[in-house]
Amino acid sequence: MARLGMASWVMAAWLTAGMAAAQTPPAGFENLFNGKDFTGWAGDLANYEVKDGSIVCRKGKGGVIFFDRQVADFVARVDYKLPPAGNNGLAIRYPGKGTASVDGMCEIQILDDAHPRYAKLDPRQFNGSSYGLIAAKKGFQKPVGQWNTMEVSAIGTKLKVVLNGSEILEGDVKEVKDFMRREAPKGLFNPKGYFGFCGHTDPVEFRNVYLRQVK
């Protein structure tokens, strides 16, 4: 094995330390993903894979995967990376079957909404939105191919989404009167459920999946 120069050795050590630190949850949070396999997860696992320390939806596949423990009020934090036109979502209080945007409290959109394919979306379909319910602010997502950090709070009927350090959504689903699908999701007022990912055929990547229960 070739010997590393001092500069290379320092860089390698820094990268190794950074990778280790990235797997350490923030204070009060639990790490839901071990970076190696789907231990603790359930759902459509065959449609996803673990690659280079990330959960990746297989191209052309989809479905919901979720951490197999129901929670009520919580704060979740996750890093995600989109391919061009990529589409996925965060399942909030998902009951374990059906679709998150109908059977769960909601789906928080993960989307390359700058892509021409999505030029005519309803604002409630933009990245970070509570799908079909509450629109998120645009302009805070990093370019495709870069990692983003999203934090979602679900406290009672109130939602908050912070993207890359900026708050892009705050609202209360019980105050929503105009539904994109004309009626409220069946699971809108689920008192608890699972947290997970909603694959929509694109190889969206997730890492550093952390959750803090509020009660």
Query: From CA 82, how far away is CA 80, in angstroms rounded?
Result: 7
Q: Can you read off the two tokens belonging to residue 166? A: 């900026």
Name every residue whose Cβ is closer than 8 Å to that of residue 173 and which is 6 or more positions away in sequence: 105, 106, 130, 133, 134, 157, 158, 159, 188, 189
**The pLDDT of residue 155 is above 70:** yes
Residues 7-34: what's their mean pLDDT?
62
Summary count for the chain: helices (H), strands (E): 2, 13
Query: From CA 113, how far away is CA 125, in angstroms rounded?
Result: 8
Query: Confidence band (pLDDT; 50, 70, 90) for 2?
Result: very low
**The pLDDT of residue 152 is above 70:** yes
**The pLDDT of residue 191 is above 80:** yes
16/181: higher pLDDT: 181
Q: Which residue has the tokens 């052309």?
A: 60
Query: Confidence band (pLDDT; 50, 70, 90) for 21?
Result: very low
Query: Confidence band (pLDDT; 50, 70, 90) for 22?
Result: low
- Residue whose C-alpha is closest to residue 149's, from 54, 81, 64, 57: 81
Q: Decide: 205 and 144 in contact? Cβ < 8 Å.
A: no
Query: From CA 152, how far away is CA 70, in angstroms rounded?
Result: 16
The confidence score (pLDDT) of residue 132 equals 96
Q: Give domain limits for the chain.
A: 30-213
- Domain made up of 30-213: CATH architecture: Sandwich (2.60)
Q: What's the predicted TM-score (pTM) here?
A: 0.88
Dihedral sign from CA coordinates of 96, 102, 108, 112:
positive
